Amino acid sequence: MSTRTENAMARSQLEGVRGARVLLVEARYYTDISDALAAGAERELAKYGCFVERVTVPGAFEIPGAIALAADRYDGFVALGCVVRGETTHYDYVCGESARGLMDLSVHKKVAIGYGIVTVNNVDQAWARAATDRGDKGGDAAHACLAMVALGRRWRNT
């Protein structure tokens, strides 16, 4: 029986991504969870011989802005962070606006982004998603990024 908390994203072998330049943009608000997400992402990117740079931002809200600043410098981006529901509506704004910002970049700027921001009710749920031996959402986000890089390269070369 799998130790993963959810169905694993099908991580099929990807073609045409070897050596891709990928920027991990990591919100460090929950440092241990961020480290687990980054470990999963870095492990997945290493399988494809990617050049990886890792930068940090204060929180999930700042991730789209950091990617926008670097949009022309990398083949793809992995957005990593954790937002835990609190007692106020702040959670809803941070989750919604960071997701919207990343989607806007993906669609309007044609940027390959893997979404690895876990949005949870408590820290136990965050660990279930972030730990590399359980949810491995960092690895899933890196794989999604590379899948989009592969599509972009395929369509640019035809």
pLDDT, tens digit (0-9, with 9 covering 90-100), for 84-125: 998 888 888 998 999 999 999 999 999 999 999 999 999 999
Tell me how far apart the alpha carbons of residues 111 and 50 are, in angstroms, rounded to a whole number.
17
CA neighbor of 27 nearest in space, from 124, 111, 130: 130
Say yes or no to pLDDT of 133 above 70: yes
Quick: pLDDT tens for 52-90.
Answer: 999 999 999 999 999 999 999 999 999 999 999 988 888
Are the C-beta atoms of 112 and 61 separated by less than 8 Å?
A: no
- Residue, of 149 and 11, whose pLDDT is higher: 149
> pLDDT band for position 10 (50/70/90)?
low
- The catalytic residue among 18, 21, 73, 90 is 90
Quick: pLDDT tens for 42-51.
Answer: 999 999 999 9
Q: Does 108 participate in catalysis according to the annotation?
A: no
pLDDT of residue 1: 31
CA neighbor of 141 nearest in space, from 111, 158, 118, 119: 118
How does the average pLDDT of the chain come out, rounded? Answer: 92
Are the C-beta atoms of 148 and 112 separated by less than 8 Å?
A: yes
CA neighbor of 40 nearest in space, from 129, 124, 147, 121: 129
pLDDT of residue 74: 98
pLDDT of residue 13: 85
- Residue, of 156 and 137, whose pLDDT is higher: 137
Q: What is the pTM of this model?
A: 0.91
Q: Where are the beta strands (DSSP E) in the chain?
A: 21-27, 51-57, 76-84, 113-120
Tell me how far apart the alpha carbons of residues 54 and 60 are, in angstroms, rounded to a whole number.
15
